[in-house]
Chain A
């Protein structure tokens, strides 16, 4: 609770800076219009004009908030102008990809922990796969999957899954290796089987790692879903809103899509945080 004041202060500073920059950036247009019309503009007029432009270089925060409100609360959810509609399309791809990626990541981690050949042989390639800017593959994955008859949700989900499996598998490998030798020895003196060792020691002890990597993974899969929407030619989804906005110079639309995706990311990470708190409290692992 002590950090509320600093956080609000910093957020306030960001909003003030945002207003400042939007005045500076948008005043060029105002001055240009005024000089074409042959009139002098005072500073207060510039200030007034920069706040209400149709296509500002940098929309003022309240313009974005109004656009967000207009496109979420004042439109039918089924309407193609509704941000909720586009947000849902992105969210469904994100969630499907996140589930696939997390499942795959955990399975890989189990394999790596239990099999030495997999540890030595696959782990370096998993790490190398992340130095490949994987988002660059997005257009190709979309096109290739389309040519074998898959379109819509699944290709985006595959890109999301690719982005989210890495943090989960690396985090879980660290988590599964967490038990120290005395704990392993104790279970061995109880004559625990391999499966018992796994379920009763390795799984519980890796829970904090699981939630930390899930948070990173869900943020990554949202990025994957948004980028996956770009090459499809701006049909639907938050990524499509970004692309359409950039084609038609609708800056307010770009910013509202951006803030919308930020809210989505924050909600997803926050939800996992809540589940984390509840689970760890129940398991007695809370720090």
Chain B
């Protein structure tokens, strides 16, 4: 009973601290401090709750155990990361997004295609594409190639839709001025349409970072050589070694966040002219 009161008290204290912090004049430090305080207090409460109420490790391991497992099994986590993220997700991401961009340029050339592909692309983007995983595993075998194929299928249409919209986002005035300069078709693509499409392209690229990781991990549930994050998660769940599963999830979270961060860094470099990035 006292424990619950103490935990609640701790929660209110940190929450009060956050309310106090957010009432201060906003600065960069405060914008970092508030989510950090929130996250840390969440971890402390998790740890204390699990320890005090003796929650069995097969239901919810405390964060400290997960940390210990994480450090002890760095070698396994690393080979899983290489297999799933670098081989499966990343190659599929590059192939899928790259081909979608090229396809989008082709689609942009013909308004007829654009009218036909946009609604279908929007429709396909809403479909449970993850379901194609067993088919691709059957076609391309258990290795990383099938995972890359699933990722390609998952990222292609969201990327295509964004890119087609982006290429179509130039207005008449801009196209007219290029015509008065006597620009060729490819000059128009390189100097006007591609730069104008970049904010849309990066929106698609950011959405696809998460999709690619999901695709690669879920595809491994359908069959994988004896390594890979999805493989490890599904087998360790079977053994009820939940600390290993959580360690894999931490890796997935770090990889996903880093991937997203790198893409948004690229966005800031490429679309520095866009209102949202102007200083």
Residues of A near any B CB (own CB < 8 A): 2-3, 6-11, 14, 25, 57, 116-117, 119-125, 128, 130-137, 139-140, 143-144, 147-148, 215-216, 219, 222-223, 226-227, 230-231, 238-239, 242-243, 245-246, 249, 251, 254-255, 257-258, 261-262, 265-266, 269
Contact = CB atoms under 8 A, between A and B. Distances in A.
Contact of B253 (A57, A131, A139): A131
B245 interface: yes
A251 B11 CA distance: 52
Nearest to B259: A131
A26 B188 CA distance: 43
Contacts, number: 167
Interface of B: 15, 18-19, 21-23, 30-31, 34-35, 37-39, 58-60, 112-117, 119-120, 123, 126-128, 130-135, 137-139, 209-210, 213-214, 217-218, 221-223, 229-230, 233-234, 237, 240, 242, 245-246, 248-249, 252-253, 256-257, 259-260
Secondary structure at the B interface, as helix, strand, loop or mixed, is: helix
B237 A140 contact: yes
Given A144-B59, A246-B137, A258 B131 contact: yes
A136 B218 contact: yes
Given A117-B19, A246-B222, A136 B209 contact: no
A218 B39 CA distance: 29
Contacts of B209: 131
B130 A227 contact: yes
A242 B129 CA distance: 12
A266 B123 contact: yes
> Interface SS of chain A: helix, strand, loop or mixed?
helix
A53 B116 CA distance: 32
Given A121-B38, A261-B128, A144 B257 contact: no
A269 B123 CA distance: 9
A144 B233 CA distance: 13
